[in-house]
Amino acid sequence: MIQPGMPEDIVNLLNGKDLETKQKEAMMLLSVGEDMWPHTAMISVGEIISLNHTEVRLALWPGTATTSNILRTGKATLVVVLAEQVHYLRLSLQKLPLIDHAKHVRERFSGTILFVKTDKAKYADITSGIKIQLKDSHHVIQRWNEVLDELVK
């Protein structure tokens, strides 16, 4: 199934609220390398925020392959596994200005959801996506909140 915007459950997952309850969720961010091969990176709910059903913002580490790929192409696909479905969000991305005196320096991007493709297997249940366990959840979640606050400035 293809739809123009994010389903409500993804908007809620990425709304930047209640990060403590979402701390184990990880998603895949796919970009295309200079060698034209897919490049895969994991991102957390502390690096992306939904503004509405068709707009997101990303805060990515500077100097990474993913960031370089997005700066070069302006494109990425976010893969979210949620509620027994896999969602592929095609993103058109534009670089946002750096924030002077940012507490956590990140490359910031504004993203438009071009469309969302959703898969659900007829013959099997999708029971989970990528799960992570934070080593220092208090400090990581504090940083995530600060990054997301700066991301919507």
pLDDT tens, the chain, 153 aa long: 788 899 999 999 999 999 999 999 999 999 999 999 999 999 999 999 999 999 999 999 999 999 999 999 999 999 999 988 999 999 999 999 988 898 999 999 999 999 999 998 889 888 889 999 999 999 999 999 999 999 998
Going 20 to 26 to 59 to 54, the CA torsion angle's sign is negative
Go through the chain and tell me how many residues it has: 153
Q: What angle do CA 18, 23, 25 make, to 5 degrees?
A: 115
pLDDT value at position 127?
Answer: 87
Q: Nearest 5°: CA angle at 1, between 51 and 50?
A: 10
Residue type, 103: K
What 3-state class would DSSP assign to 71?
A: helix
Note if the pTM is more than 0.85.
yes
